[in-house]
Chain A
Amino acid sequence: MPRVLLDYIRYNGSGGKRVQAFLADFYKNLEKKQAVQTIGRGRVHVVAVTDRKEAAPGIIVLGLFAPELAAVTRPGQFVMAMPPCNGAAAVALGVYQACADRIALLFFVTGRRTRGLAMLVPGDTLELFGPLGNGFILDGLRDVAIVAGGVGIASVLLPAIQLRRCGARVRLFYGARTAQRLVERERFAEAGCEIVAATQDGSEGVRGYVTDALRAAKRPEHVLACGPTPMLRATAEIAAEWNVSAQLALEETFGCGVGACWGCVVPIAQSAGQAPPFPRRHDGVVYARICREGPVFRAGDLRW
């Protein structure tokens, strides 16, 4: 977010109709401007770790001093973080927070590379490149259900905050295995989101999948989702039943992160705006790269 704007909010507060209208306008223009730009492929940044928090066992939130990234990152974009261990590809992480001169990354420790990242402490430097990918399109949305599963929560805070700033109603449907792993809910509460939790063991909220909670809820105007593929598929189904549009941020193992290796693909309709210009196939389906054409796709365009 631009520094000027932040200072404006800092001194004038973010409440009040006038400020809200100003912000809504500002973001509308920003969206328009960015929508016509070809999305850049980012640069290598060397950033400093400012804080580290273990939100739950194995769930890390890393705060980074990265003014340049914070200024340009849009909701739904990701960075490739280079783990401080040799012989490892960079890890794709959704940008969790971007505010003033700081961004934050939220990730689960699942293997060698994320373990390497989890060992970083304030004062260390981290190298990363980005921001990458196309983000969520939030223009004019008034009533949004955000569905997040597990580590998918990392990619939905930025859109939630932006939507709230524009005065939209935001309901967060948040699923995890246990109550302990439902981390960082307070950030969403601060932003003014209504939160519906679901846990698989029933330790909090609805017992079962988060999509069960979504199905039981009142129909929103639009759905955003990030999480494991089965959750996204179920979300897409529900959105289709409701006849509302949905944007899904896909999770996949990335190779290069910039569209070179074709390791992360998803079949989408050839007619979709995001379809790469490949030779036409008889079935009208084409593979799009999640890292380059995505990671956010319209549910209706996917042919999975």
Chain B
Amino acid sequence: MVSVSEVDLSVDVGGLHLRRPTLMASGCYGSGEEFALLAEPAGIGAIVLKSLTKEPRVGNPMPRLVHTPSGMLNAIGLANPGVDWYLEHEAVKLSSLPYAIVGSVAGFSVDEYRYVCERLAERSEIAAIELNVSCPNVASEGETFACDPELTARVVRAARATTRKPLIVKLSPNVTDITEVARGAEAAGADALAIVNTVRGMAIDVETWRPRLGNGAGGLSGPAIRPIAVLAVYEVARAVRVPIVGQGGIETLFDALEFFLAGASAIAIGTANFGDPRVPERIVTGLAEYLAERGLNSMSEIVGKAQPSRAERTWGATG
């Protein structure tokens, strides 16, 4: 039996050292200050900022959100003030926050990714960079990066050349074989992979006979996509060596555990914060208890434990 205080929840995500394995997913947590009064910092390992692009973007037309059974469809469209404006006006606030900050980068060409990465790399407030190559909500281009292993690799190589900060590449589940894209990103220099972004979806208004989102299609998040995400993490964990940030519909400790057991070194919480801002804190507290009860004292003792052992694989027991 290990006492809760002895449990070490810290993880290393490709060079990004976190005291707790919980990230707040990009786009769901603003810059952290929005939830400041509602959530305890004790639940937060790092915050992934809303994706920044080279130029300011107003985003998609309204409506941008639809609540669906067990989830939420969004089509925000990368609304952001542009990296230059953000760093000049908002980034100062980041240094006072009691957790690590991960910058998120989106773009429409390799050059745009390179530019934003360069700008973020200069800043000491930014502990790591996440490459959002998988936003489903921008006209055509956005997601094609994550759908094409070669394009993904080109973006990652360009970003890699700009910085030595840990580079996390966020991948899309909307592909035939996510492991192929994952391998490409790893080979191009990714330090970690975030698995997965939202699943494409649509809701239709039966009164107006039109899609309910202003953009038509959107990205589905929430518990509805959790099994999809767990499988993606499970498969990618077998295909690559870099650590994985598992995400997709995590709401409770048990959801988080599924991702750790599938092979994620850390998890990200997104939509669940909208249902209850105390979710991260609950997961972290519960995680320490879960490990302590089982006499385990570090995260490495559960990460990837749902994967078949080498012996099982040799016997072909898992097909």
Contact between chains at B251 and A89 (CB < 8 Å): no
Which residue in chain B gives the minimum CB-CB distance to A40? Answer: B37
**B201 at the A interface (CB under 8 A):** no
B-chain residues with CB within 8 Å of residue A252 when the two chains form the complex: 62-63
Contact between chains at A255 and B74 (CB < 8 Å): yes
In whole Å, how far is A41's beta carbon from the nearest beta carbon of chain B?
5
B-chain residues with CB within 8 Å of residue A254 when the two chains form the complex: 65
Q: Which residues of chain B (53-89) have a CB below 8 Å from chain A?
A: 56, 58-59, 62-67, 69-72, 74, 76, 79, 81-82, 85, 89
Roughly how many angstroms separate A88 CA and B278 CA in the complex, as a whole number? 14
In whole Å, how far is A276's beta carbon from the nearest beta carbon of chain B?
9
Residue in A87, A112, A263, A281 whose CB lies within 8 Å of B64: A263
Roughly how many angstroms separate A40 CA and B64 CA in the complex, as a whole number? 25
**B113 at the A interface (CB under 8 A):** no
Contact between chains at A41 and B65 (CB < 8 Å): no
- Interface bracket on A: 35 or more
Knowing A261-B74, A266-B62 touch, does A87 contact B27 (C-beta < 8 A)?
no
Most chain B CB within 10 A, of A44, A129, A255, is at A255
Contact between chains at B278 and A44 (CB < 8 Å): yes
Roughly how many angstroms separate A231 CA and B69 CA in the complex, as a whole number? 28
Interface size, chain B (Cβ < 8 Å):
42
A-chain residues with CB within 8 Å of residue B222 when the two chains form the complex: 87
**A124 at the B interface (CB under 8 A):** no
Contact between chains at B56 and A42 (CB < 8 Å): no
Residue in A129, A261, A278 whose CB lies within 8 Å of B277: A129
**B273 at the A interface (CB under 8 A):** yes
Contact between chains at A255 and B65 (CB < 8 Å): yes
Main secondary structure of the interface of B (DSSP, over half): loop
Most chain B CB within 10 A, of A88, A259, A281, is at A88
A-chain residues with CB within 8 Å of residue B277 when the two chains form the complex: 44, 129
A-chain residues with CB within 8 Å of residue B315 when the two chains form the complex: none
**B28 at the A interface (CB under 8 A):** yes
A-chain residues with CB within 8 Å of residue B70 when the two chains form the complex: 87
**B50 at the A interface (CB under 8 A):** yes
Question: Taking beta carbons and an 8 Å cutoff, which residues of A are in contact with B?
Answer: 40-44, 82, 86-90, 111-113, 127, 129, 252-266, 277-279, 281, 286-287, 292
A-B contact pairs, 22 of them (CB 8 A): A44-B276, A86-B251, A87-B71, A87-B249, A88-B67, A89-B271, A90-B275, A111-B67, A129-B38, A253-B67, A255-B74, A255-B274, A256-B274, A258-B30, A258-B34, A259-B34, A260-B35, A278-B56, A278-B81, A279-B82, A281-B58, A292-B34
8 cross-chain pairs, A with B, having the tightest CB-CB distances, nearest first: A260-B30, A89-B274, A263-B65, A87-B223, A260-B34, A258-B34, A279-B56, A262-B79
